[in-house]
Amino acid sequence: MQAEARAIGKLRHVRLVNLIGYCCDGDERLLVSEYMPNDTLNKHLFHWEKQTMEWAMRLRVALYVAEGLEYCRQSGHKLYHDFNTCRVLFDENGSPRLSCYGWMKNSKDGKNFSTNLAYTPPEYLISGTLIPESVVFSFGTFLLDLLSGKHIPPSHVSDTGGNETERREGAREISIGGLVTPILVACDAPLKGVVHEPR
């Protein structure tokens, strides 16, 4: 853990929740990061039904998270563990930032990639092997969550039906045809069609 924490502590970027320090004393393990006062993307997206996240903010989240992942890839940290909407937090200015904790292995043997089956790449489920492209799969699932407002709760790791089926059907609609109309099929219903093409 100490080696990982030291390496991650050197990462500094405006799109990240930067690691400030850590404690590794006996069996005690503690990570300290910057304080993010405005909750997680998971809460904004799925638990505040009367305050629907606007389309512009969803695009902003997608861009900022992608920039955070790309910075870390260029810095040599290509594998992000347990990537999901809980890993995106909002700072005091309301800007989304990616948690630094995803670059720490979740288990002592480093084999626990994700607590949510929907985000776990297929090559890991089959062989237990991670490659840098595994993050691309997780990011794609993240985008579908962001777009549709539907997800599989982390506690339902073995549930491959329900919302996941609906989301995959929505993704199929996105992959055929033009920009706006197919996307509306998968979009979060509370948006009520308020989706604009980027200029």
Domain with residues 37-191, CATH architecture: Orthogonal Bundle (1.10)
- Cβ 47 vs Cβ 102: under 8 Å: no
pLDDT band per the 50, 70, 90 thresholds, residue 120: confident
What are 158-194's pLDDT values in tens digits? 444 444 444 444 444 444 344 444 445 556 666 665 6
- Cβ 64 vs Cβ 87: under 8 Å: no
Query: Rounded distance, CA 57 to CA 19, Å?
Result: 25
* Percentage of the residues of the chain whose pLDDT score is greater than 90: 23
Of 5, 181, 144, 148, give the one whose Cα is nearest residue 77: 5
Q: Which residue numbers are catalytic?
A: 82
Beta-ladder partners of 29: 24
What are 35-64's pLDDT values in tens digits? 999 999 989 888 766 778 888 999 999 999
Q: What is the pTM of this model?
A: 0.74
For residue 16, pLDDT over 90 is answered with yes
